[in-house]
Amino acid sequence: MRILLAILFVFLPTTVVLASDTFFLKDGQRVVFLGDSNTYAGKYIAYLDAYLCTRFPEKRFELINLGLPSETVSGLSEPDHPYPRPNIHDRLERALALAKPDVVVICYGMNDGIYYPFSEERFKKYQQGIAKLIEKVEKAGAKAMLMSPSPFDATALKGKVLAKGADKFSWLRPYERYDEEVLTKYSEWLLTLRQKKYTVIDAHAALLKHLETMRKEDPAYRVSGDGIHPNANGHLVVALEILKEWQAPSAVKDISINVPQELLRAPDAPPTQPGVSITFVRRNFVGFKSTLPRPMPADPAWTPRVKEIEKFDERVNRYALKVEGLRGFLAIRVSDLKDARRVPIRGDEISKGIDLAALLKINPDSKSPEIWKLIDEKNRILGPAWLTHVGHKRPDTPKGLPFEDAGRKAAVLDAEIRKLCAPAEISIGVGPFGK
C-alpha cells in the first residue's frame, strides 16, 4: 500500500468494532489440511496464509498442507489406476502426532467415488472413512472441520466421459454424470453433519454457483482444464468460502467515529477506539491518525472478472470508515508521497459508512506483489517437506527439501513477509469541501 499522508477534517469520537473477536482461529493455532491432489496443489491454503499475514500481522498462525495426490478416505481404487490409491488412514496417526494440530480441515470425495456411477457400497465406505477420520482427529485433541469436494466438470472432458453402461471407468475416462450423481450426494451428506455441530465448508456448492454466474457471460468458462483440478480462480473461490465459515473480518480496518461524543470527551481521556488517535476536532472538522494493515494480496493468476464477480475486495479488503455528526458537502483530503488528493464526500454518506479503499483507491498495494510472491514460495517449500516428513505410500511424489532445511528457509521468508506486512501509519482529514 502506498503510504498515505492524510488530513481528515471531521467532528468525531472513535469506536472500533473488533470483528476479529469473532474470527474462528486464535493466535498461535496450527491448522492441518488433509485431502487429495486439490489440497496438495495448495493454492487455496496459500491464499488463506496471505489473508492471515496481512490481516493479523501481530499474530501467528501456522498452516500445514498435508494433501496427497490420488488419496482417498475410503480406501477404494479403480481397476485402471496405476497403483492402489493411498489411504489417509495409513498415515493419519503419524500426521497428527508430528503436526500436533489445533484444527484439521478435511476434504475428500473426488477420488472416493473412483469416477464410477453411484454405488451405495462405495458411499458407505466414504461415510465410514470420514467418521473414522473425525474420531481420530478428535482423539488427538484437535477440532475437525469438513469441506465438500470440488465439483467434477464434464464439459472439460468432451469425448472422454462415459455413459453409465460402460464396462469400467477411471479418472481418465470418468462417468459423465459423476458430479450430479456422486459428488453432489457425497457433499449433501457432509452438510448433514452440521446437525452434529461440525463446521462444513461447502466448496462444492460455492464452485457450482461461481460456474453458473460466470457462464451467463461466457458459456465456455471453466475453473478446471481436466474437470477435476481447479485452477487459481477455483482455489480463490474455495479460500473465500473457508474465510466465510471462519467468520473472517471483511474489513482490513474498521473505524467508526461519532463527532458529538468526541467533542465531549476529556482531553486526557484514553482513545475511544484502539489504534486511532484524534489530532484535532473543530466545528464540522476532524483529523486523526491511525495504522492501516496491508490488504490481502492478489494472485496475478486470477482473472480480473473473477475478482469482480466474487467481490474479492468487498469481502476481504474493505477499509471501513464511518463518521457521524458531520453535515453538508465535505472532502477527505489525502497527501500521498509527491502529490495531494482531495476526494469529495457528503456528510450523510460518510455517516452511513464508506469503503475508504475504494474511495481513495488504496488498492492495489504497492507491496502486494512481493508479499504474494514470498508467501507462495514459502508454501511451496513447506508443503512437500511436511508431506515427506510424515511419510506416505504414493510413488513418484516430489520429496522437497529436507524437513529442517525447509523450516529454516521458510523462517527467513516469513520474516521478510512480516516486515512487508507491517501496517502503515496514516493521517486523514475530513471537513467542508471548500475550494
Domain boundaries, the chain: 5-15+251-365+421-432, 24-248
Percent with pLDDT over 70 in the chain? 92
Please say whether the beta carbons of 241 and 206 come within 8 A: yes
Query: Over 60: is that where the pLDDT of 196 sits?
Result: yes
Comparison of pLDDT for 286 and 372, the residue scoring more: 372
Query: If you average pLDDT over residues 405-416, what whole number do you get?
Result: 98
State the Rg of the chain over Cα.
25
Which stretches of 175-303 are DSSP H helices? 178, 184-192, 203-215, 232-245, 259-264
Find out whether the peptide bond into 86 is cis, omega within 30 degrees of 0.
no
Give CA–CA dist 424/325, Å, rounded. Answer: 27
Architecture in CATH of 24-248 = 3-Layer(aba) Sandwich (3.40)
Query: Over 80: is that where the pLDDT of 435 sits?
Result: no
User: What is the DSSP pairing of strand 329-336 with strand 318-324?
Assistant: unpaired
Give CA–CA dist 351/244, Å, rounded. Answer: 27
Query: Over 80: is that where the pLDDT of 337 sits?
Result: no
Model confidence over 276-328: pLDDT tens digits? 888 888 888 888 888 888 899 999 999 999 999 999 999 999 888 898 999 99
Give CA–CA dist 223/160, Å, rounded. Answer: 18
Please say whether the beta carbons of 6 and 362 come within 8 A: no
Give CA–CA dist 221/223, Å, rounded. Answer: 7
Give 360's pLDDT tier (boundaries 50, 70, 90): low
Among 19-33, 52-66, 160-174, 191-205, the least confident range:
19-33
Full-model pTM:
0.90
Residue 264 has a pLDDT of 82
Among 263-277, 332-346, 408-422, the least confident range:
332-346
Task: Tell me how many degrees the CA angle 289-274-271 measures, rounded to the nearest 5.
Answer: 75
Q: Average model confidence (pLDDT) for the chain?
A: 90
Model confidence over 160-185: pLDDT tens digits? 999 999 999 999 999 999 999 999 99
Give 125's pLDDT tier (boundaries 50, 70, 90): very high
Residue 363 has a pLDDT of 54
Give 204's pLDDT tier (boundaries 50, 70, 90): very high
Give 237's pLDDT tier (boundaries 50, 70, 90): very high
Which residues contact residue 295 at a Cβ distance below 8 angstroms, ignoring those fewer than 6 apart? 1, 54, 252, 313, 316, 317, 357, 362, 363, 364, 365, 368
Give 433's pLDDT tier (boundaries 50, 70, 90): low
